[in-house]
Every structure is written in structure tokens, then in C-alpha cells.
Structure 1
Amino acid sequence: MPDTPATDAGLAPIVAEVTVPVTPTEAFVGFTAQMGEWWDPVLTPDAATFTNIAIDPNGPVAMVHGDEEYVWGRVMEWDPIGRYTQEFWLGHPEDEATVLDVRFTEADGGGSLVRLVHSGWMPGTEEVRAKYTHWGDLLARYAAHVS
């Protein structure tokens, strides 16, 4: 099995990694079930009303703002032993969805390596892709949350 999803003829994927001092399963739970606790509200439609991120393991991923939900993805793979994958269209049309693939593996020296690959960028989406420079910052917030 390859380490990252295939990129075909598209643009290079965006890759970010962090090591956290918890097991891969705990890292998975912190990333998925607790995403709303570490996600930066500035990266939502309205930071002042942001309350959570709701993830249905069999369906949509949505930002919650009070009584409103903004769907920006769909779960493709939910494996608490080590992998979370979703279609991703936050900031671009659903019919141009990209893919977030997050792997949780045991790190050398203890803890877990969390590797996020944001792929599926097609030629012509360079301007949209350039806006996704925050994965490292988000993973730092996530690491602080689970540590």
C-alpha cells in the first residue's frame, strides 16, 4: 500500500506532519472526534459563531456555527486504528473536491506520527491550493490539544 494517495497528473500534494505523545488510536480520536476543539475558528465562515466540527463517520463533515452547519467534506475512510480520509471542499466547489488523508502510526521513540496529505489538486487550481498554507499551524494546535 502506498504511503500517500495517488496524485495522477495533478499538482503536488500538501504534506504536514507532527508527533504527539499519545497512542495512534488516541491520536485518531483527538483528530476526528475533537477536531472542533483544536481547529482555528479564523479558518471558518464566521469565527465569532463557530462552535464545533461535526464528523459523521459514514457521511458529511461540517463546521457548526450556532444552529447552522456548513458541509465541507465527506468521510471516505474511518479507521480508528490508523487512518482518516475525507473528501475536502472547504473554500472551493464540491465538484472540485480534494482529498485529506491522515495516517496515525507509532513514532520512533514513542507516541504517534500524524501525517496529513492534502492531495487531488488539479491543474488550474494553483490559486486555491496556495491558500492552504495552514496545515502545519493546525497540526500544532492539534498536538497541543492532545498532549
Structure 2
Amino acid sequence: MSLEPITADIAVPVTPTEAFVGFTAQMGEWWDPMLSPDPPTFNGIAIDPNGPVASVHGDEQYVWGRVLKWDPIGHYTQEFWLGHAKEQPTRLDVTFTDAEGGGTLVHLEHSGWVDGSEDVRATYTHWDDLLRRYAAHVS
């Protein structure tokens, strides 16, 4: 088992700023409801650029992160604890850079794994699938 960061990359046919907006402000439109605390009631994701990240389920919100960096020119970072203890948050870091030949390269890194979190880390197998959903949304 590993504590190395989990990485995923995808190219999308939009500008870095459009890619950023699609990833952040529109996350609830492409996020897989099955990866939420209560899939049948999932309505979206609320992100406060200066605060919490939460799944929205009817009138309830389940906070599972906190924004650390919000730069629409190309960088988003948040603490992340969806599926593990808030007291041991991991870090989701996403960059949006010009891709060779046009569009944007989106690079996601999920890091901050600590000794004892190997089993939890092993459950995070959906980033490639989520990025494909995201790419379909912004394309």
C-alpha cells in the first residue's frame, strides 16, 4: 500500500479559466452522486471560494472540504475529507494550464496521506472517472 499522491490528468477543449469554472462552480453538475453521502438526495455541490465545500442534499449540506486556494487563472486547492476523518484532511490540488495544440490540461493531485491511511487511500479509485465526467460536461 502507498502514501504517494494520487494523480490524474485530462485535456479539455476550453480555456483555463473556463476549465476552472467548470471544475469549481459547476462541480455539482458533473460529480457522481454515488460518491456523495446520500446519493438518492444529491442535488449538487456548494463551494465557497473562502470556505467550505459541501454536498447538497435537499435542505442539508454535508461539508467535506475547505477551499485553500481559489485562482480562476488556473489553480484550485482544497482540504478534502470525503470518506475519511476531518481531523486528518488530505489535499486536493488542481491546476489548469494551456495544453499544447489548444485547450487546457487539467492536472489533479490528491495528496496528504499519512501513516495509517493506506486503506482509505486505496478506496480513492474514481478520480479518472470523475475527470471524464467533468470533461464531458465542459466540452
Aligned-CA RMSD value: 0.8
Runs of at least 4 residues off by over 6 Å? none
State the partner residue of 1:51.
43
Give the TM-score of the pair, scaled to structure 2.
0.98
Determine what percentage of the aligned residue pairs are the same residue: 74
Q: How do residues 50-69 of structure 1 correspond to structure 2 at under 5 angstroms?
A: 50-69=42-61
How many residues get paired? 138
* Counterpart pick for 2:116 among 116, 124, 141: 124
Select 1:92's aligned residue among 60, 75, 84: 84
Task: State the match for 1:18 in structure 2.
Answer: 10
TM-score, structure 1 as length reference: 0.93
State whether structure 2 residue 91 is matched by structure 1 residue 115.
no
Q: 1:72 and 2:64 equivalent?
A: yes
Shift of 1:46: 1.3
Q: Find the partner of 1:27 among 3, 19, 22.
A: 19
Q: Distance in 1 between matches of 2:123 and 2:61?
A: 22
- CA deviations over 1:62-91 (Å, ceiling 9, x no partner): 000000000000000000000000000001
Unaligned regions of 5+ residues in structure 1, if any?
A: 1-9
